[in-house]
Structure 1
């Protein structure tokens, strides 16, 4: 934006900006002349700052009649000088301002005032910030819960993916997801469960040895693995492996607007994208839990045989006496619920992805953290419930 008192042909021949500063007692006069444009105002920027910091006068007149050319950058320097002098308690008068500059000064003055208000906004106290954080977290939880219920409801109706109401279940998609989330996860589940089972057995035997009760390590491993560790460890690994993959896949499609394309062609994105993955998780997680239980017990058998001299036959016989059907079902019943939680939370975070790669990374991280947290909370709720009904 450029305002010119002379003709456009004089723009190239205008004198450089100049600042003349004079004082008479407590009064000062700042006379500006030349071309105050973006290209050359840097020459007078430092001088304008020095005048704004001068405290040897109480009133000042800024004379603008000598300015030949003026644009936004020059106006900003003038407004900055006026604002700094007024903040210092000085009386400021501007003379020689052309009427054609009115809109320019008004716009720059409003922008300067707005930025000044932002910079000097009062920071709330620590208590207010803490309460505000809690409030935002609770509000975000309510928003996530609403979206989760929407996805759950749409998944329940997931077979009706088309507006005509015709069944849209695709067995091939479910089998593909089973292969990816179930069969693909078997090696890591077996490895981790075997190691965890072996560690529990070794530490249990080490502590029980002081009481001459090493054989009871079988009871410890059997009950702990079948009721708690097996399903919980598997759910955590699936949340980190498959939950993050679900969020990344759905989030990538959201970034490329493929979910909008599904809606345009009459398909329900939740039914197409979430339904097969959720069904596959509900099927795969109980099966992986069974594999994890056997792997953990296998690792415990090897360690107790090598560390405590308990042969596998004695381990299995003691295990039969220590556990019953309820011990096995207590862990297995949790698996479908944990699978639903992981799938729904991963889908919710995937649907929240924006248009940037940074947003995708944040949502994948949030998906894993939230899923693991909720899975552990649900496991604790189940433990309390089982204790209350003596199961």
Structure 2
């Protein structure tokens, strides 16, 4: 076994020099490291590697620590006693040591408010990018819709009919059942509260105004946001994962015209129709509960319903096309964002539902403020 590596500093005829000898390998790492830590070199003494017997990466690292990466790099080029293998080893270790020195030290983690501000800024930036992308996609859809409207031979009534079946006909039972139940619950609350003042009969007006202006269209939009927006995202996302959309483009077909426009048109028809059904079922649920709990004939309840102005229903119905368009755009856009993985499809499907419900509620609040300002 070779002798452990050693260091010897001496004064030669040409000035101070360092003699490096022995076995500079991993087996003697601790011994050599101890000598390197105890050695302090002044200036740039000449290095004599003539007595060096064995050298590996561990020993080369210790040399770089002793002399510095730049000196080891120069030594690898100029030392005549080094073989080609040792030259390459020293150059590689010197380059790695130089990169390690150049790597900046990790910055101190910001305090709580700093992290909060950074996270808030990143979220605002992300939201801005997503909103800009949604606006650009809306422009593409409107452009394609206008171009298709001027070319009747490119209409796709079969696709629209199929989407109508999924979005309207199959959603009809759940919309009717849910709105009937919500109407009954509102009537129960109205009877409980208004009954204290002897005004239980006005529960009919409470249910009517609530469903005509708000609950009819909002509950329908939220149900379709969870049902249709998720379906749109999953369907288009699966097609993108299977490269079917790329195949459409290769054949000269427009994915927006083939996939997006039929779904948008279907929802533009389905949401107003289902909103009407929701209003009727909500009024029926509220009227039935009022009839069973308040001593008033059915004819009186119907007459109270008929006395309410039609503008309240139109105020609610005017929001239906807006909600339908937003839900369809979000569902289709999230589907087109999907990548070729099941996880991406699931993530964007969840995002489509959350965004659709969020924007339905926000737009409904904005519409309520507008109605108050214009006296509706």
Normalising by structure 2, we get a TM-score of 0.77
- 2:208 matches 1:215: no
What are the superposed Cα offsets for residues 110-158 of structure 1, whole Å, 9 maximum, x if unpaired? 66457x64x7233234444433334333333333333323332332333
- CA contact 1:204–1:217 (8 Å) conserved in 2: yes
Rounded Cα–Cα distance in structure 1 between residues aligned with 2:188 and 2:145: 49
2:338 is matched with which residue? Answer: 353
Q: Report what 1:330 is aligned to.
A: 315
Distance in 1 of aligned mates of 2:114 and 2:216: 43
Count of paired positions: 345
Answer yes or no: is 1:232 the counterpart of 2:214.
no
Over 3 Å counting, the alpha-carbon distance change for 1:376 and 1:67 in structure 2 is: farther
Give unmatched runs, 5+ long, in structure 2.
8-19, 42-48, 77-85
Q: How does 1:109-120 map to 2 (within 5 A)?
A: 109=97, 112=100, 117=104, 120=106
Cα drift, residue 359 of structure 1? 2.2
Give the Cα–Cα distance (whole angstroms) in 2 for the partners of residues 91 and 307 of structure 1. Answer: 96
Q: 2:261 aligns to what? A: 275
TM-aligned CA deviation for residue 313 of structure 1: 2.4
1: distance between equivalents of 2:297 and 2:263?
Answer: 42
Tell me the secondary structure at the aligned position of residue 267 of structure 1.
coil
CA distance in 1, matches of 2:176, 2:126: 36
Compared with structure 1, are the counterparts of its residues 326 and 161 closer, same or farther at alpha carbon in structure 2 (3 Å cutoff)? closer
Cα deviation, 1:181-211, whole Å, max 9, x if unaligned, reads 1111112111211111111110111111111
The equivalent residue for 2:347 is 362
The answer (yes or no) to whether the contact 1:161–1:167 under 8 Å persists in 2 is no
1:9-88 alignment to 2 at 5 Å?
59=39, 65-67=52-54, 70=56, 74=57, 79=61
State the TM-score, normalized to the length of structure 1: 0.75
Quick check: 1:190–1:295 contact (8 Å CA) kept in 2? yes
Q: Deviations over 1:345-374 (max 9, x none)?
A: 222222222233222222112211111111
Pick the aligned partner of 1:383 from 359, 368, 372.
368
Q: Which runs of 5+ in 1 are unaligned?
A: 1-14, 23-28, 37-42
- Structure 1 pair 166/336, CA: closer, same or farther in 2 (3 Å)? closer
Q: 1:242-270: CA deviations, max 9, x gaps?
A: 01111112222222232222222111111
Residues 1:240 and 1:110: Cα distance change in structure 2 (over 3 Å): farther
Quickly say closer, same or farther: Cα 1:21–1:65, change in 2 above 3 A.
closer
Q: Aligned partners of 1:51, 1:368: CA distance in 2, in Å?
A: 65
Report if the CA contact (8 A) 1:157-1:271 is conserved. no
Higher mean C-alpha deviation, range 178-187 or range 355-364: 355-364
Taking structure 1 as reference, are residues 105 and 227 closer, same or farther at Cα in structure 2, changes over 3 Å only?
Answer: same
Displacement after TM superposition at 1:233 (Å): 0.9
Partner residue of 1:5?
Answer: none
> Residues 267-306 of structure 1 correspond to what in structure 2 (within 5 A)?
267-306=253-292
Cα displacement (A) at 1:51: 9.9
Change over 3 Å in CA distance of 1:224–1:30 after alignment to 2: farther
Tell which structure's C-alpha radius of gyration is larger.
2
- Give the Cα–Cα distance (whole angstroms) in 2 for the partners of residues 291 and 30 of structure 1: 94
CA contact (8 A) 1:244 1:367 kept: yes
* CA RMSD in angstroms, aligned pairs only: 3.8
Between Structure 1 and Structure 2, which shows a larger proportion of helix residues? 2
Does 2:162 correspond to 1:181? no
Partner deviation per Cα, 1:276-326 (whole Å, 9 max, x = no partner): 0001011100111111111111211222223334443222122223x2101
